[in-house]
């Protein structure tokens, strides 16, 4: 029995699992963000400032002022972790009228890791398992491992905006992320929208590459200010023309996960 995925609409009983999934996905990026912050200019500035304050105002010997280094590292860690925790809580509790979940069906006993199983998924169904796997369903366990939401674009008419994309860190991003995005694009096409956009940050490189593989284009790159001009985060605004996506679907090797 090979694992497969079902992309279906969100149901009320999914709320607890989705909140846990979103928190887990967002917090999985905290370490990469922390490492990125360590090599920014603000880190050196804080170390020099702390060193100077301890030496000038508190009279601490110069060589002992090196304690400013671990203090700044801890400060950055707690700041990054706290901001990611707040973000994960906000996203998890934010209501969404249009939401889909990715539910994996996998063998109850398997020696393969979750990431290996997810990367080997070859079948994806819409709304419910297909007739060809009905006999296998009773011998498999199911679990929600991904979610995606879509809302109306705030700046464009007849366009959608992808939000709350999350995939369990225990499973491989691809192909589950591909299936979720394609499901939103198909829904947008059926709703006669002409474009779909989203935004990724510099720490979401793997997710951005999946968007680009599907056919999204980088429409704008900008820096969001966190602490004035000292600390900024690079954001990428991605978009796709749905008419062009439908025309070039075979060329870019994308199949809508509907069986």
3-state secondary structure of 172: coil
58 lies in some domain? no
pLDDT in the model for residue 113? 61
Residue whose structure tokens are 């954001």: 235
Q: What are phi and psi of 81, to 5 degrees?
A: -60, -45
Whole-structure pTM value: 0.83
pLDDT in the model for residue 68? 87
pLDDT in the model for residue 259? 46
153 lies in some domain? yes
Q: What are phi and psi of 218, to 5 degrees?
A: -80, 115
The domain of 191 spans 4-12+96-247
43 lies in some domain? no
pLDDT in the model for residue 227? 63
Calculate ∠ Cα 8-238-5, nearest 5°: 20
32-43 exposure pattern, b = at least 16 Cβ within 10 A, e = fewer: ebbeebeeeebb
42 lies in some domain? no
CA 18 to CA 25: how far, in whole Å?
10
Q: What averages of pLDDT result for each successive group of 10 residues across the chain (259 residues)?
A: 85 91 92 87 87 83 83 90 91 87 82 62 77 72 91 90 92 89 93 93 89 92 72 87 81 49
pLDDT in the model for residue 50? 87
Residues in the chain: 259
Greatest Cα pair distance, the chain, in angstroms, is: 77
Cβ-based burial of 220 (10 A; exposed 0-12, middle 13-18, buried ≥19) = exposed
Q: Domain of 221: which CATH number?
A: 3.40.630.30
* Total of domains in the chain: 1
CA 170 to CA 29: how far, in whole Å?
13
pLDDT in the model for residue 66? 84
149 lies in some domain? yes
DSSP 250: T
Query: Is the separation of the CB atoms in 112 and 98 below 8 Å?
Result: no
Please state at what angle helix 68-93 crosses helix 41-56, rounded to 10 degrees: 130
Tokens encoding 12: 């009320």
47 lies in some domain? no
Return the HEC string of 13-69.
Answer: HHHHHHHHHHHHHHHCCHHHHHHHHHCCHHHHHHHHHHHHHHHHCCCCCHHHHHHHH
238 lies in some domain? yes
189 lies in some domain? yes
């Amino acid at each position: 029995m090979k694992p497969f995925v079902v992309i279906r609409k969100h149901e009320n009983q999914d709320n607890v699992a989705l909140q846990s999934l979103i928190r887990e996905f967002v917090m999985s990026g905290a370490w990469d963000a922390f490492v990125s912050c360590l090599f920014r200019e603000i880190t050196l500035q804080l170390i020099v400032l702390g060193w100077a304050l301890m030496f000038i105002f508190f009279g601490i010997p110069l060589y002992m002022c090196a304690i400013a280094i671990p203090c700044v590292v801890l400060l950055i860690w707690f700041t990054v972790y706290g901001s990611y925790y707040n973000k994960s809580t906000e996203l998890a509790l934010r209501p969404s009228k249009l939401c889909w979940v990715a539910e994996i069906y996998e063998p109850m006993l398997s020696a393969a890791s979750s990431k290996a199983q997810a990367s080997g998924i070859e079948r994806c169904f819409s709304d419910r398992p297909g007739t060809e796997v009905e006999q296998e369903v009773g011998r498999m366990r199911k679990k929600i491992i991904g979610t995606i939401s879509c809302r109306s674009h705030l700046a464009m008419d007849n366009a959608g905006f992808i939000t709350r994309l999350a995939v369990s860190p225990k499973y491989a991003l691809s192909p589950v992320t591909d299936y979720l995005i394609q499901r939103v694009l198909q829904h947008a096409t059926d709703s006669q929208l002409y474009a779909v956009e989203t935004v990724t940050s510099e720490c979401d490189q793997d997710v951005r590459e999946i968007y680009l593989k599907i056919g999204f284009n980088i429409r704008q790159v900008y820096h969001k200010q966190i602490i004035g001009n000292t600390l900024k985060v690079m954001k990428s605004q991605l978009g796709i023309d749905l008419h062009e996506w439908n025309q070039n679907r075979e060329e870019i090797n994308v199949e809508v996960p509907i069986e």
